[in-house]
Amino acid sequence: MSLLDLALEEGFGEELSEKLEEHGYLDPELTRRPSQLKQLNLVRDIRRRGKNKIAAQNCRKRKMDNLQGLEKDVTMLRRRKSRLLKDKQEALRTLQELKQRLSSLYQDVFSSLRDGEGRPLDVHEYMLSFESDGTVDVVSRRQGRKEKSRRKQKDK
């Protein structure tokens, strides 16, 4: 292995060029000679390779840091997705329970309502319409019109 290879491997490009300058090997007057020019180019090459090696190490470190950050983000997003799915399931269960309670309430209300002849109103023929002023109307599903009987609902 040559001295050049050893210097490159160890990252001594900068130090080597400084040493060469200290000992007068990089004197500008001497660079006019072809042999000195070759040495100068060699030193510049060593310096460039050393800088490139450090830049590559820094690049790899930044890449690893970015990957670790992305992995943390993915983990956080997976946890959030899991929480949201649990919340969705809970909301669906609650909705189903409310639908069942509303259906039961409908049955209770309609079992106590009577038409003009005293017969119970059919849940499939009529529906309740809740108004913003607090009134509840019995409306025919087919005709979409309000029946004569209006009931006042009060919030409890």
- In this structure, the number of other CB atoms found within 10 A of the CB of residue 110 comes to 19
- What is the model's pTM? 0.49
- Take residue 10 and report the two structure tokens written for it: 């160890």
Span 72-101, pLDDT tens digits = 999 999 999 999 999 999 999 999 999 999
Q: What residues have CB less than 8 Å from 128, skipping those under 6 apart?
A: 106, 109, 136, 137, 138, 139
Span 96-148, pLDDT tens digits = 999 999 888 888 888 888 878 888 887 788 888 878 888 878 888 876 544 44
Residue 42 binned pLDDT confidence (cut-offs 50, 70, 90): confident
- Take residue 127 and report the two structure tokens written for it: 């529906």
